[in-house]
Amino acid sequence: MLDLIWESGQRALRENGLEEAFIANSRSGDGEETRICGKDGVPLYRRKEVIREAGNLKQARPEIDRRVLRDLLLGAVPADSVKWNHALVSAQPLDGGQHELTFSNGPATTVDLLVGADGANSRVRPLLSPATPLYHGITGAEVSLAPEVASAAANRDVSDAVGMGSCYAAEDGKIFIAQRNNNERIRAYLWHRAALDWALPSDPKEGKKALLDIYRDWVPWYRKFIELGDEKAMYTRPLLHLPIGHRWPHKPGVTIIGDAAHLMSPFAGAGANLAMLDGLELGLVLSDAMSKNLGVGEREEAIAAWEEEMLARAEKFATITAKNLETFMSTDAPKAIVDAWRAHHGD
């Protein structure tokens, strides 16, 4: 689930005519319920957002499933504007700021402006920066309950413990975050300190055993969640980030946005919001350059100025999310999480 903010993720949808579709496909009110617990499962904090009313989107952070959001965005562009099965293999600089792109399925093309929105392991980033993702020292797993399992009467204890929105649990250097999705699936992220090479065994049953051992002294509903996990949807999820304050000297004809530019952990809810705002703002910069018939040099100056704004904004959120992650992993969790949450939300 992604919670989209009014001035960033929601703005990108709003300015592209997708606000009504977003409202129809997102969850507010109950979906924004927050619980904070320790390994005993007892909520130390519980907050239920005001149910969405006219104008309340500015204060709320409605949640939307990643796949639903993807489908909304794909449905808003011409069908032939997305080229499927074109994994980028390399991008070679040419004269005049152009780049030649080679794809895994064979074809190559030359572009005047290359925008790398290609994630943590960006193949475009090396054209601008030597930075590579760093490991937080924290890894874990994504585990989820299939809709029919989450809604089964026999599993009411787990469903009730998660609540209608998100349940954040942390203690003893371990994290268990469970979120209810639109389709009634409940998705959880389980993190702990380990070497980067830690991974779930390929056999899902062995993977469950490994997680049950890590959470062996947590109350039954957490362990039941693991036991009931969808064996077709278990994934290793290490936490990676780019250096806080990541920057690069502007180079003509190429830029990067989103995780390619400012990868960070999810503990500020900023990643998707920043990526969507990056895309919107860069699009506006390019649209303005075209409408004013700017030359290439002037266009590049505008992009360079915008990059500085984007990276300053990202640095702010990267600092916040790093601090939040430390709070979740601290010896004072879950109390430290509650204190931080109340300091931020004022309740």
Domain ranges of the chain: 1-27+62-79, 87-134+242-329, 137-238
Distance CA(83)–CA(75), nearest Å, equals: 14
CATH class of 137-238: alpha beta
Residue 211 contacts residue 143 (beta carbons within 8 Å)? yes
Cut 0.85: pTM above it:
yes
9 strand-pairing partners: none
Average pLDDT for 272-289: 98
Which tens digits make up the pLDDT trace of 287-342? 999 999 999 999 999 999 999 999 999 999 999 999 999 999 999 999 999 999 99
User: Rounded to the nearest 5°, which phi and psi values hold at 59?
Assistant: -95, -30
* Identity of the amino acid at 63: E
Distance CA(273)–CA(271), nearest Å, equals: 6
Helix segments in the chain, DSSP class H: 9-14, 19-25, 66-75, 147-150, 156-162, 204-214, 220-228, 259-262, 271-291, 296-329, 335-345
pLDDT of residue 16: 96
Residue 310 contacts residue 261 (beta carbons within 8 Å)? yes
pLDDT of residue 54: 45
Confidence of residue 181 (pLDDT cuts 50, 70, 90): confident
CA–CA distances in Å: residue 126 to residues 132, 251, 270: 9, 12, 24
116 strand-pairing partners: 256
pLDDT of residue 289: 98
Average pLDDT for 147-159: 98
Distance CA(302)–CA(300), nearest Å, equals: 5
103 strand-pairing partners: 88
CA–CA distances in Å: residue 154 to residues 131, 148, 179, 215: 49, 11, 19, 22
pLDDT at 88 over 70: yes
CATH T-level fold of 87-134+242-329:
FAD/NAD(P)-binding domain (3.50.50)
Residue 319 contacts residue 244 (beta carbons within 8 Å)? yes
pLDDT of residue 317: 98
pLDDT at 344 over 90: no
SS3 40: coil
Give the tokens for residue 178: 């469970």
Give the tokens for residue 162: 């998660």
Mean model confidence pLDDT for the chain:
94
Distance CA(113)–CA(122), nearest Å, equals: 16
pLDDT of residue 107: 86
Which tens digits make up the pLDDT trace of 22-75? 999 987 755 568 999 999 999 999 987 654 554 556 767 788 989 999 999 999
Please name which of 51, 53, 54, 5 lies closest in space to residue 29, comparing C-alpha atoms. 51
Average pLDDT for 175-196: 95
